Structure 1
């Protein structure tokens, strides 16, 4: 009798379990629905819309006109756009290696047992969680040519500081200094997590064999930290090619001509050029084409990095 009752209850239990699974599934979809809807509305749909608009001529108000690949062919003859790619490349080539090297050095130093280590980590990480607009405003005050903090400190040692953000010779360098300073904290945290995963026994064995601190760094730290270094390199390159907020805040707002136009030429990055074409000159289709060209460039560079990483790991 007992076995028969258990047999009769088994289908009922399976029905209850299936109902519970369906309820869990419904609630799961309910909780992720806002994220999925937001992703569709603000990311996926705009991506495909920009792809369609890149083949059109549209100023945002008039009728959309399909022009096929004219926007893309026009890009390679546009000196302003080509110069923006050159400025972006210079910015990336300077900021990314400097940020990574400084991040590695600081991460190694803050991985040691020193007094106030947590406070130092917090200080270096604070720029990563601070609004870029706030950072730009503070640095804009510090860069002031007449009463800025930097020029004041330089005057103390007898150096006449330049006009950092009103001289086209120095404004790009000023932006790069802020980018390097602001990018160290995030990379440092990623590298610290990689350093803490390296067993101390490796360093102890190397010290017993007579290896110096430099040799331990080169032959133990760097090889075992390679995955973290490649990760911050990929993310740093993507972020560098998409720089916009610092340039927008530090460069005078003007449609061209005069001192502001010269400064914009010196700091016009690829994304800043997209912003100007799309929201200042209302060339929506042309700006969309620029955005997709930038996407292709970033995608190819990322693929090359992933390939080199695999080759490096295989070599190791």
Structure 2
């Protein structure tokens, strides 16, 4: 089959246009993945020198107590932050999908944390959580309640970070759910109203089933982001992280950049990559079965 000159020209210009993007992906995303996988089999010394160590780093994963604590903390973070964030986002999206006065203002206010720099969010919340002159403990003091040391107490530190994470991600999830809600035909609700269905029945029998693909998408992206939690821990707690707030990614940062154990840090990154891939695969399988069942 002969290809026309015009089609060849179109292909040539198409590849020319996507070349910068492909080079960026190759240099900053694809190549580092293979490089990290290779470094996970090495042992690093001073001045950037490294030697092949085989499976030594992966054997160390099974005996590292810090990694066990980090996996526990990350799991608690995921189990708490992801479901609560999704539920609150759906509720807000449903409320803001109604015809109420000042709707655009409410949507903007809820979306503001998303466009705010994480560093700024962390600094504001760090001040709010301050045990000596923070606003939260001040308000508790007005009620004759002694506020805890939010970010320095093992009992409250992780939950304090989870609250900030939920607050800062609700806006982005809410916008996604709003787009999903606006794709649902009004005729379904009109037919349900004729049959005498109430608001709760409409929500459980119409809104949630038709919103399932959007919920799965948000769930997948939320889980991936939750596994990679680092910024709020680093900016609100600092380098000296307590046992209760140390995440897997922070452990990678500690070994790779503070202790110069880049080989072992790379094995942690590979382990996290495999965990995320497995969980994402399971989610996609569940989604297909759920959609088929519906």
Q: State TM-score, norm by structure 2.
A: 0.95
Does 1:280 pair with 2:258?
yes
Q: Does the CA-based 8 Å contact 1:60-1:284 persist in structure 2?
A: no
Cα gap change, 1:62 to 1:110, in 2 (>3 Å): closer
Deviation (angstroms), 1:60: 6.0
Q: Which residue of 1 aligns with 2:182?
A: 196
Q: Deviations over 1:226-257 (max 9, x none)?
A: 00001000000000000010011011323xxx
Does 1:96 pair with 2:82?
yes
Q: Does the CA-based 8 Å contact 1:252-1:264 persist in structure 2?
A: no
Matches within 5 A, 1:202-213: 202-213=188-199
| Rounded Cα–Cα distance in structure 2 between residues aligned with 1:236 and 1:287 | 24
Q: Does the CA-based 8 Å contact 1:277-1:283 persist in structure 2?
A: yes
Deviation (angstroms), 1:23: 4.6
For 2:115, which of 129, 144, 152 is the aligned residue?
129
| Rounded Cα–Cα distance in structure 1 between residues aligned with 2:252 and 2:230 | 10
Q: Which residue of 2 aligns with 1:266?
A: 244
Matches within 5 A, 1:243-254: 243-254=229-240
Q: Which residue of 1 aligns with 2:278?
A: 300
Between stretches 24-33 and 283-292, larger displacement belongs to 24-33
Does 1:165 pair with 2:143?
no
Cα gap change, 1:132 to 1:59, in 2 (>3 Å): farther
Unaligned runs of 5+ in 2: none
| Rounded Cα–Cα distance in structure 2 between residues aligned with 1:121 and 1:62 | 49
Matches within 5 A, 1:138-157: 138-157=124-143
Q: Does the CA-based 8 Å contact 1:191-1:228 persist in structure 2?
A: yes
Deviation (angstroms), 1:21: 4.6
Q: Which residue of 2 aligns with 1:309?
A: 287
Deviation (angstroms), 1:90: 0.5
Task: Please give the secondary structure, in 2, of the residue aligned with 1:299.
Answer: helix
| Rounded Cα–Cα distance in structure 1 between residues aligned with 2:141 and 2:42 | 54
Task: Please give the secondary structure, in 2, of the residue aligned with 1:167.
Answer: coil
RMSD: 1.6
Cα gap change, 1:244 to 1:215, in 2 (>3 Å): same
| Rounded Cα–Cα distance in structure 1 between residues aligned with 2:17 and 2:55 | 42
Does 1:105 pair with 2:91?
yes
Cα gap change, 1:60 to 1:125, in 2 (>3 Å): farther
Does 1:39 pair with 2:25?
yes
Q: Deviations over 1:281-313 (max 9, x none)?
A: 011110000000001111111111111111111
Cα gap change, 1:240 to 1:60, in 2 (>3 Å): farther
Aligned pairs, number? 293
Unaligned runs of 5+ in 1: 1-13, 255-262
Task: Please give the secondary structure, in 2, of the residue aligned with 1:65.
Answer: strand
For 1:225, which of 211, 214, 233 is the aligned residue?
211
Deviation (angstroms), 1:184: 0.5
Q: State TM-score, norm by structure 1.
A: 0.89
For 1:54, which of 18, 25, 40 is the aligned residue?
40
Deviation (angstroms), 1:224: 0.5
Q: Deviations over 1:198-217 (max 9, x none)?
A: 11111111111111111111
